[in-house]
Amino acid sequence: MCTYYNLMMFPYPSAEGLHVGNVYAFVGSDIHGRFQRMWGHDVFEPIGFDSFGIHSENFAIKKGTHPKEQTAKNIKHFTEQLKQLGALFDWDRAVITSEPEYYKWTQWLFLQLYKAGLAYKGKAPVDWCPSCKTVLADEQVIEGKCERCDSVVLQKDLEQWFLRITKYADRLLKNLETIDWSEKTKIAQRNWIGRTEGTSITFKIENSKEEIKAFTTRADTLYGATFLVLAPEHPLIASVTSKGIQEYVEAAKRKTELERRAEEKEKTGVFTGFYAINPLNKEKIPVWVADYALMGYGTGALFGDAHDERDVEFARKYTIPLKATVITGDKKQDQKILSLEQCFTEYGILVDSGPFTGMTSREAMKKVTEWLTEKGLGESKVTYHLRDWLISRQRYWGPPIPVIYCRKCRESTKHKTQSTNKSQNTKHKSQTEDRYGIDYVVINGVEYAIVLVPEKDLPVRLPKVKDFRPTGTGKSPLASVSSFMKTKCPVCKGSAQRETDVSDTFLDSAWYFLRYPCTEYANKPFDKKRIKKWLPVSMYIGGHEHAVLHLLYTRFITMALEDMGYIEFGEPFKKFRAHGLITKEGTKMSKSRGNVVNPDEYFVKYGADTVRTYLMFLGPMAEGGDWPDKGIVGVYRFFNRLWTLVAKPSLATAKLGLASELASELVNEVLRHKTIKKVTEDLENLRYNTAIAALMEYFNALQRSDKATREQINTLLILLSPFAPHLTEELWGKLGNKGSIHNQPWPKYNPRILKEEQLRLVVQVNGRVREVLSVARGISEKEAVALALQQEKIKKWFPSGKPKNVVFIKGRLLNLVSY
Ligand SMILES: [Zn+2]
Ligand SMILES: [Zn+2]
């Protein structure tokens, strides 16, 4: 039997419990799993809890409880709620990320990443959430605001742990072509990775040995560059001591990235006093510092010219001369553009550009780059928007990063380290085999070797402390727990100190799907053979909001584990489908809006099957729907009518025997096959709403005809069972069927029957026409005889119930002989 790993993003167990939006996602995934199971797959449908993280901690702070106790309580409540969904979850393999048995392996993962050169400690300007009192990953900042609490983030220079996801930028991008994912999620990842081809240009500074590297996608406009702009964070600026400049830089650093990037914002800047040389025409151009240049993009330096709106705006404000060097080629417009009344930003023809004059923009970009490369003044360069993944958090509720800092080891190995100049943007560089004591950090001016906690000493347990509140000082609360912080160096046995930051929750969830099939292994994170049997995940369902967070991180970690030889695939999820959201009266459900619908009362009032089916009836899985309370009654009534029809004692008796089945309306039979086809296709494509509509229509036809056969009703129950597992199981038994409905194979439809239309069958008795019946084209002789004998006008000729002789001309005529 083929295995099928049916995965749904595991929940963060909030104190509020599940809301209908969560239920929607779980049910949608469960229906898919149930369908795959009946289809013949060996389905694995696990569940767990993403229980570390700031959310849990913040709630505990608010309530005055400890996160450990609060989390246990939340998980208990979630478990109760999840159990009433009627999902196939394999509870024996539940994973809880805040348990030491799990985070031991999250720490192990960190060690492997470090050993592979994919984890490093580096100082960089990072995003700081003043409300969460911690740094955030790039991906957790949405339009300049904290993804969790919506606070505007600030920039801080801090030494942090990063994972080198940028090393995988190209693979993350290219592999997107090979996986079956929701298109909008792929687009979001492509944009976030943000691959840009351009040119890196070296500007020499007049009377100085310093150089500035600028990045541009428009090398064709370089001839017309009339100034250079540096970001306030640019390393060169730090060496400029002028008071005016330092004041400007300080002010800029207080602004958020969002403020700085705002299009409508008036550009500001200060002249640095020095000049750079345009490598193309050797002209001297002034160097400015301006906050519209951002350090995180390109190189933190750009040249200004007449073909970029922001540059033109800036130049006009500070009366910096501009020179148009690209024109449209359209005579009437040329005049206008050359007078710089409007900014021409498109590709065109070069003018006043020395040897490049007359070229098209595309040609010139190539030629200018070649020219610069030849002279050693530039090169073509690919940049990415993607930055390394910042995983340090100055919080309590997470796995301690398993690193120890040792002064003695640093002293004794100092001679091994060649270069010690760690500039702002160069991260760690020593890639020696023996890493103990080679990589180092500087704490309060003192150098310490980075020593990994040996694997045998894992987990580094999170100590239970009374005061776990974030400090806001840039240090985790663990920094003030001396019993935790002070430790012995595993290499030199001297006294040393622990890293006190914990890692981001997203690292916990970056590998949990590998743990699920392997929870019984205490001595390894996962078993290679077991992993091979179940992974990669066959179907992953979850929220699109994780497109560039969780879904990017999991891909990176999977690729890294493949490269390290732990697993044999690089993409964790063969198929991913983003589910839609359930709204309340058109608006997104959120606690702050106070419109969160708690499913519990609906479970009590209508039962899980009604809640499940109603949610799926709201709209296609990918789109979600709106939750108006009254709609649920319709589904509830449908189930009640179904119950009445099937549970009628008459139906459970022999009346539903073979004879009556054959006598049944063949119209129903055609509809049965049609319904199987429709529901099967809809379930494959997560169009649950239209599948339910088809089942309702089929039910109505059966009810109207009053001649439903056992098989027709069984088919209805089986097709409905992924939606309503409890009700259908009950009715299955009532009909006298053996075993569980959930172990039945998925019904197959007969394409032949679907193709057939009804035809008129002439029924003769002893050669005389007595009746004309409407039947399916493919009706067999046996079926036709049985059907004919049910008719009043025919029946009376055969008191024995059996004709003496039969002549059947397929598709046209049936002659029954009574003597
Ligand atoms: Zn925040
Ligand atoms: Zn040591």
CA dihedral (730, 735, 736, 741) in degrees, to 10, reads -50
Q: Can you give the pLDDT at residue 173?
A: 96
Q: Can you give the pLDDT at residue 240?
A: 73
Dihedral sign, Cα of residue 303, residue 309, residue 312, residue 314: negative
* 55 Cα–ligand 1 center, Å: 10
* 470 Cα–ligand 2 center, Å: 29
Cα–Cα distance measured from residue 75 to residue 95, given in angstroms and rounded to the nearest whole number: 11
What pairing do the DSSP bridges indicate for beta strands 575-579 and 180-181? parallel
Which helix (DSSP H) or strand (DSSP E) does residue 3 occupy? strand 3-8
* 418 Cα–ligand 2 center, Å: 20
3-state helix, strand, coil in the chain (%, to 5): 40, 20, 35
pLDDT band at 435 (very low <50, low <70, confident <90, very high): very low
Q: Lowest mean pLDDT of 98-102, 680-684, 775-779, name the range.
A: 775-779
Cα–Cα distance measured from residue 666 to residue 651, given in angstroms and rounded to the nearest whole number: 19
Q: Can you give the pLDDT at residue 425?
A: 37
Asked whether residue 394 carries a pLDDT value surpassing 80, the answer given is yes
Cα–Cα distance measured from residue 371 to residue 367, given in angstroms and rounded to the nearest whole number: 6
Cα–Cα distance measured from residue 147 to residue 13, given in angstroms and rounded to the nearest whole number: 18
* 493 Cα–ligand 2 center, Å: 6
Query: In a 3-state reduction of DSSP, which class is residue 675?
Result: helix
Determine contact, residues 620/687, Cβ cutoff 8 Å.
yes
Determine contact, residues 17/78, Cβ cutoff 8 Å.
yes
Q: Which ligand is nearest the CA of 449, by number?
A: 2
Cα–Cα distance measured from residue 677 to residue 673, given in angstroms and rounded to the nearest whole number: 6
* 495 Cα–ligand 2 center, Å: 7
Query: Which CA distances in Å does 404 have to 492, 499, 503, 534, 543?
Result: 12, 6, 15, 36, 37
**Mean pLDDT within 489-509:** 95
What pairing do the DSSP bridges indicate for beta strands 581-584 and 269-277? unpaired
Cα–Cα distance measured from residue 540 to residue 180, given in angstroms and rounded to the nearest whole number: 10
Q: Can you give the pLDDT at residue 532?
A: 95
The phi, psi pair for 119, rounded to 5°, reads: -130, 135
* 393 Cα–ligand 1 center, Å: 12
DSSP assignments along 71-119, one per residue: HHHHHHHHHHHHHTTT---EEEEEEETTSHHHHHHHHHHHHHHHHTT-E
What's the whole-model pTM score? 0.81
Q: Can you give the pLDDT at residue 337?
A: 52
Asked whether residue 814 carries a pLDDT value surpassing 70, the answer given is yes
Tens digit of pLDDT for each residue in 164-203? Answer: 999 999 999 999 999 999 999 999 999 999 999 999 999 9
* 624 Cα–ligand 1 center, Å: 28
**Which residue type is seen at 275?**
Y
* 489 Cα–ligand 2 center, Å: 5
**Mean pLDDT within 258-266:** 69
pLDDT band at 335 (very low <50, low <70, confident <90, very high): low
**Mean pLDDT within 235-256:** 80
Tens digit of pLDDT for each residue in 748-761? Answer: 998 877 766 667 78
User: Between 433 and 87, whose confidence is greater?
Assistant: 87
Angle in degrees, CA 710, 711, 714, rounded to 5: 85
Q: Can you give the pLDDT at residue 666?
A: 59
Angle between helices 710-720 and 725-734 (to 10 degrees): 160
Share of the chain above pLDDT 90, in %: 56
Query: What is the gyration radius of the CA atoms in the chain, in angstroms?
Result: 35
Q: Lowest mean pLDDT of 396-410, 568-582, 693-707, name the range.
A: 693-707
Query: In a 3-state reduction of DSSP, which class is residue 195?
Result: coil
Query: In a 3-state reduction of DSSP, which class is residue 404?
Result: strand
**Mean pLDDT within 346-367:** 92
**Mean pLDDT within 444-471:** 91
Q: Can you give the pLDDT at residue 520?
A: 95
**Which residue type is seen at 535?**
L
* 414 Cα–ligand 2 center, Å: 12
519-555 exposure pattern, b = at least 16 Cβ within 10 A, e = fewer: beeeeebbeeeebeebbbbbbbbbbbebbbbbbbbbb
Q: Can you give the pLDDT at residue 330?
A: 65
pLDDT band at 401 (very low <50, low <70, confident <90, very high): very high
Please give the DSSP secondary-structure letter assigned to residue 25: H
Cα–Cα distance measured from residue 643 to residue 713, given in angstroms and rounded to the nearest whole number: 11
Contacts (Cβ under 8 Å, ≥6 apart) of 192 = 139, 385, 386, 547, 548, 552
**Mean pLDDT within 696-704:** 88
Query: Which CA distances in Å does 346 have to 228, 326, 363, 558, 663?
Result: 21, 8, 14, 41, 75
Tens digit of pLDDT for each residue in 761-811? Answer: 889 999 898 988 878 777 888 889 988 998 888 988 898 888 999 999 887
Q: Can you give the pLDDT at residue 154?
A: 85
pLDDT band at 398 (very low <50, low <70, confident <90, very high): very high
Q: Can you give the pLDDT at residue 57?
A: 87
**Mean pLDDT within 60-67:** 89
* 441 Cα–ligand 2 center, Å: 13
Q: Can you give the pLDDT at residue 297?
A: 66
Cα–Cα distance measured from residue 77 to residue 98, given in angstroms and rounded to the nearest whole number: 16
Asked whether residue 432 carries a pLDDT value surpassing 60, the answer given is no
Q: Can you give the pLDDT at residue 628?
A: 77
Tens digit of pLDDT for each residue in 107-141? Answer: 999 999 999 999 999 887 788 898 888 888 888 88
* 134 Cα–ligand 2 center, Å: 29
Instruction: For the chain, count helices (H), then strands (E).
Output: 29, 36
Tens digit of pLDDT for each residue in 592-650? Answer: 677 788 888 899 999 999 999 999 999 899 988 888 767 899 999 999 999 988 876 55
* 113 Cα–ligand 2 center, Å: 21
Tens digit of pLDDT for each residue in 1-56? Answer: 799 999 999 999 988 888 888 899 999 999 999 999 999 999 999 999 999 988 88
Q: Which ligand is nearest the CA of 494, by number?
A: 2
